[in-house]
Amino acid sequence: MYISIMTKPTSHTVKAWIMLLKAHRTALTSVENALKKAKLPPLIWYDILLELERSGDKGLRPFQLEKELLLPQYGISRILERMEKAGYLSREMCENDGRGQRLVSTEAGLKKRAEMWTVYGPAIEETVGTKLSPDQSKATAELLNLLLK
């Protein structure tokens, strides 16, 4: 489907876009502040640890993690170095690619992700769950899912 650069969004579309961005920023700020107050790592560390936990013992290659998180390589490299230094992940050589590495969560990483969830989960509830009814939350999730297609 080709969309001409001359195509203009409706005022409702623009308003939806603005509200989506504002809601995103507000929610992330709220969660990041809760993690910071609890002296926990930033949210991106949680996301990385969660993806590594989901991958199990096989781990993920850095490019796979970048794809899952939609982060640029240059942005994630420094974060991974810090997380490795903190003991939350390890790098292991790939059996089928002598130059390749895979990232695997350590026991400390699994524990840190679980600890972070004790703050992150309630922050989600405070940010979304207390403002929307269960039906509104479901409808919002369904609407936002349409934007991912």
Which tens digit of pLDDT belongs to each residue from 43-98? 999 999 999 999 998 899 988 898 888 677 777 889 999 999 999 999 988 777 76
Which CATH number belongs to the domain containing residue 26 in this structure? Answer: 1.10.10.10
- Structural domain includes residue 132: no
What percentage of the chain has pLDDT greater than the value 70?
A: 95
What's the Rg (C-alpha) of the chain?
19
Output the pLDDT for position 94: 78
Give 1's pLDDT tier (boundaries 50, 70, 90): low
Show the domain range for 109: 12-126
Residues 6+ apart with CB under 8 A from 105: 49, 52, 53, 59, 88, 89, 113
- Structural domain includes residue 3: no
- Structural domain includes residue 7: no
Contact 12, 93 (CB under 8 A): no
Residues 6+ apart with CB under 8 A from 145: none
Structural domains of the chain, count: 1
Q: The whole model's pTM is what?
A: 0.85
- Structural domain includes residue 134: no
Tokens of 145: 């899912």
Output the pLDDT for position 4: 63
